[in-house]
Structure 1
């Protein structure tokens, strides 16, 4: 299934492109910083990064239709001159990075409880038949932590995905005794039997969770979402933005801790690189 434009009539395209151009030059009332490639216009925001795809817009629509998870409502989405533009309703709220340290333990617990429900809903979505590691449409997956490039795949199986992550290395290729033990453990982990991919946000850090008071009102930035190995939500949330390290202490409070899987990911990063 191919990604689809949404509500992309001439007027919406014209208004979006004009607003984004003005906003990126600082002429609108409020805009995001230049590096974020997000422009705010009244109660809407326009997102267009070098990595933005129609799959992100389609994912938000899919999540809205299949869960009760609060996501931005997509107004329109289209491609123009090789770049994707997504217009969404702005959600009134602050990301959890703002003021987390000042929250009471009771407040944090209420947030964790809601996050557990959100994750459970995502993980309860059944994948299409024969789905491997892929985005919502069965296309490439995106993650800035991938080595060499941010967009990979799609992959027919989790094993194919893992093999690519470790550059095709198998046990029989290991010759250096000092590396063999760790890498053998990683390869055995990768080559185990996997039940199938799980629908995953891929970046559930405090920066992508919006709240008003103790209520979660939005989960944003769905560009990394897709059908991924079962551990991927946990390890990706743990490998947070360097400016957001405090969130590592919170991840295990709303996601099932996966210490072994996390250790395997650390080994993969150490030998095969990403960030």
Structure 2
């Protein structure tokens, strides 16, 4: 199967990669694409198939359905802050033909990036000492505080890092939040979704106070999926965040609303220390996401979360 490679990143990687990375970017796109496919073919024949492969010390190659916003987010964080994260070294997106008669063409991408040192919080949270939990929570709080101030260069207040629709796991697979010019426009879309599902009367008491509170507060840059698998820890300290495909500009409550569930108390304590709490908004947003996927408000009558 042949694919037409196109470089899709909205931001220029040349300004933000080390000198060796710049030399690699000088190689024609088609040649880089062939190199990535050749390397992955060899590694797939040796190891179990995986979406992300280490191809050199500290260098990883990710493949599959990768949104350009993931690479752009790394560029923005590196360009506007001193925060630790992966460095996007290359991003190539290919137009692929439909696999079957009744399916649509799709995109397949390759993202070359540096590693964030350490292990995920999911891997180490049961080994952390109480003082380490406190330290990591404070470090993550400071990280997010700096990150929220990354400026939005687009006309849309609600958008991902390309200025387009924002992916959120809250709305299920392939359900994007459209880009909007303003927060009230986003809230109006939520109301419309609830009306289409005929659940607005039940949701109105929850959503209207929230909308009136945040309609004029603007947006902040957020990661969008603060889960144990995306928080990196090294020697009991925060070493960075990974997986930025859900990042973009959203109302201030969105980071808490979209944060993952934590299996062990240590992870939960870290998130509680790091995030400004929007408990009512979190409940409302999770309910909205569930309703758009076929649930009803009655499914959320019992709501227990520390």
For Structure 1 versus Structure 2, the TM-score category normalised by the shorter chain is 0.7 to 0.9
In structure 2, distance between residues paired with 1:45 and 1:100: 24
Question: What is the Cα deviation at residue 194 of structure 1?
Answer: 2.8
Question: What is the Cα deviation at residue 129 of structure 1?
Answer: 6.6
Name the SS for the 1:55 alignment partner. helix
Structure 2 residue 23 is matched with structure 1 residue 16: no
Name the SS for the 1:204 alignment partner. coil
Structure 2 residue 124 is matched with structure 1 residue 109: no
Structure 2 residue 10 is matched with structure 1 residue 3: yes
In structure 2, distance between residues paired with 1:100 and 1:147: 27
**Structure 2 CA distance for partners of 1:84 and 1:104, relative to 1, 3 Å:** same
The corresponding residue for 2:46 is 27
Tell me the TM-score normalized by structure 2: 0.74
**Structure 2 CA distance for partners of 1:274 and 1:134, relative to 1, 3 Å:** farther
Name the SS for the 1:97 alignment partner. helix
Question: What is the Cα deviation at residue 126 of structure 1?
Answer: 3.3
In structure 1, distance between residues paired with 2:183 and 2:156: 10
In structure 2, distance between residues paired with 1:174 and 1:13: 44
Structure 2 residue 198 is matched with structure 1 residue 180: no
> Could you list the runs of 5+ residues in structure 1 that have no partner in the other structure?
none
Structure 2 residue 205 is matched with structure 1 residue 189: no
Structure 2 residue 230 is matched with structure 1 residue 208: yes
Contact 1:141 1:152 in 2 (8 A): yes
Q: Which of 123, 126, 150 in structure 1 is aligned with 2:151?
A: 126
In structure 2, distance between residues paired with 1:4 and 1:259: 35
Structure 2 residue 255 is matched with structure 1 residue 245: no
Higher mean alpha-carbon deviation, 223-232 vs 145-154, is at: 145-154
In structure 2, distance between residues paired with 1:144 and 1:260: 19
In structure 1, distance between residues paired with 2:56 and 2:236: 25
Tell me the TM-score normalized by structure 1: 0.82
How many pairs align?
Answer: 260
Question: What is the Cα deviation at residue 123 of structure 1?
Answer: 1.4
> Could you list the runs of 5+ residues in structure 2 that have no partner in the other structure?
1-7, 14-24, 96-106, 296-306
Question: What is the Cα deviation at residue 147 of structure 1?
Answer: 4.7
**Structure 2 CA distance for partners of 1:125 and 1:74, relative to 1, 3 Å:** closer
Higher mean alpha-carbon deviation, 53-62 vs 151-160, is at: 151-160
Structure 1 runs of 4+ with >6 Å offset: 173-176
Contact 2:257 2:286 in 1 (8 A): no
Question: What is the Cα deviation at residue 133 of structure 1?
Answer: 0.8
The corresponding residue for 1:272 is 292
Question: What is the Cα deviation at residue 89 of structure 1?
Answer: 1.5
The corresponding residue for 2:16 is none
